[in-house]
Copies of this chain bind each other. A is one copy, B any other.
Amino acid sequence: MPFIMIPNRDVLASLAQKGYRITPQRLMILQAIEEASGHISAEEIYEGVRHNYAGLNISTVYRTLELLKVMGLVAETDMGDGRVRFHSAGHDHHHHLVCSVCGHVIDLDAAALAPLSDMLIERYRFRADLNHMAIFGRCEECT
């Protein structure tokens, strides 16, 4: 059993409280997500954790991510590269400007889309779920 850092105690408490078990795999996956700078895919989590613990299976990563997502502990964004990316929900809510040319991602804070959200409710009675939205386009360098 490899050495394991202790991730966010609140996350562990949330899991335990609902009858979910704290396993080394879950600890390592959580740690990988929290350590990731930016947004990390299931495959990247898998590769990262396997450096310490070769026995990990990719299906455990997917199942853990699904669990964390349903519990609202991680957020999911489709950056349009054919796989879904995750980050800790503990960070501030934000959106993503994804450059279609160079792949660079600019973070955009949640407030920036508030006017859009208000307009959609007023004009269409549509309550947009704008968490972690990806907007595609070209960044300054790639114009």
Would A120 and B97 be within 8 Å (CB), given that A78-B78, A106-B126 are in contact? yes
**Chain B residues whose C-beta falls within 8 Å of the C-beta of A80 in the assembled complex:** 78
- The smallest C-beta distance from A117 to any residue of chain B, in angstroms, reads 9
Residue in chain B with minimal CB distance to A140? B125
Q: How many copies does the complex hold?
A: 2
Q: Do B137 and A129 touch across chains, with their CB atoms under 8 A apart?
A: yes
**Chain B residues whose C-beta falls within 8 Å of the C-beta of A116 in the assembled complex:** 113, 115-116
Q: Do B106 and A112 touch across chains, with their CB atoms under 8 A apart?
A: no
Q: Do A133 and B130 touch across chains, with their CB atoms under 8 A apart?
A: no
- The smallest C-beta distance from A130 to any residue of chain B, in angstroms, reads 7
**A23 interface residue, CB < 8 Å from B?**
no
**Chain B residues whose C-beta falls within 8 Å of the C-beta of A130 in the assembled complex:** 135, 137
